Amino acid sequence: MMSELAQVGNRDIVPELLELSRLVAGAESTLDTLPQIVNLTQEVIIFDNLVVFLAEEGELRPYFARAVGRGRSQEADIAWGMGVAAEIYEAGETVAKKEELEGAENNRLKVRYYLGIPLSLGKRKIGVVVFIRFGGPDYEITQIRLAEFIAEHIAYLIDGK
């Protein structure tokens, strides 16, 4: 899998992948490490929001959320992907989808590209991570595979702490 992820576009991302593994392996605290993972992930995948939802007694709850791109100044009013997260948790598979709200032609924040990935350890589902882009572009297959790799590391981080 690492060789498939070694490049995004023409850029070699092996250093970022190694740093991700190092962060997870050396983590003392999940909530202290997740912001570092967000910063690292931003270098290799374009996204505006990242949300980690964890399952508690069969119900998803936001565990960690970060707005890093478009709409950061409007955090209270932008999408966090709860509906998408529930759909992905139920299906148990990665989903990429687009949502256009009324007024999208005049406001990029109303065009939402979601990429949701289940968080699991073996057959045990523990939650979902959702990447959100406002205004596009669509997620490419290499970005989806890379996001799945990152989600796998997040699952190990959460389980280990």
> What pLDDT, on the 0 to 100 scale, is given for residue 76?
47
CATH code for position 139 = 3.30.450.40
Which 3 state secondary structure label does DSSP give 92? coil
Q: Give tens-digit pLDDT for 73-116.
A: 665 455 688 889 999 999 999 999 998 888 777 777 788 899 99
Structural domain count of the chain: 1
Average pLDDT over residues 154-158: 96
Mean pLDDT (whole number) for 10-34 = 90
Domain that holds residue 59: 2-160
Q: How far is CA 125 from the centre of its chain?
A: 16
Average pLDDT along the chain = 87
Over residues 43-79, the pLDDT tens digits come to 899 999 999 999 998 799 999 999 987 666 665 455 6
Count CB-CB contacts under 10 A for residue 92. Answer: 11
Q: Please measure the distance between the N-terminal and C-terminal CA atoms of the chain and give it in whole angstroms.
A: 25
Dist. CA 49–CA 69, nearest whole Å? 7
**The length of the chain, given as a count of residues:** 161
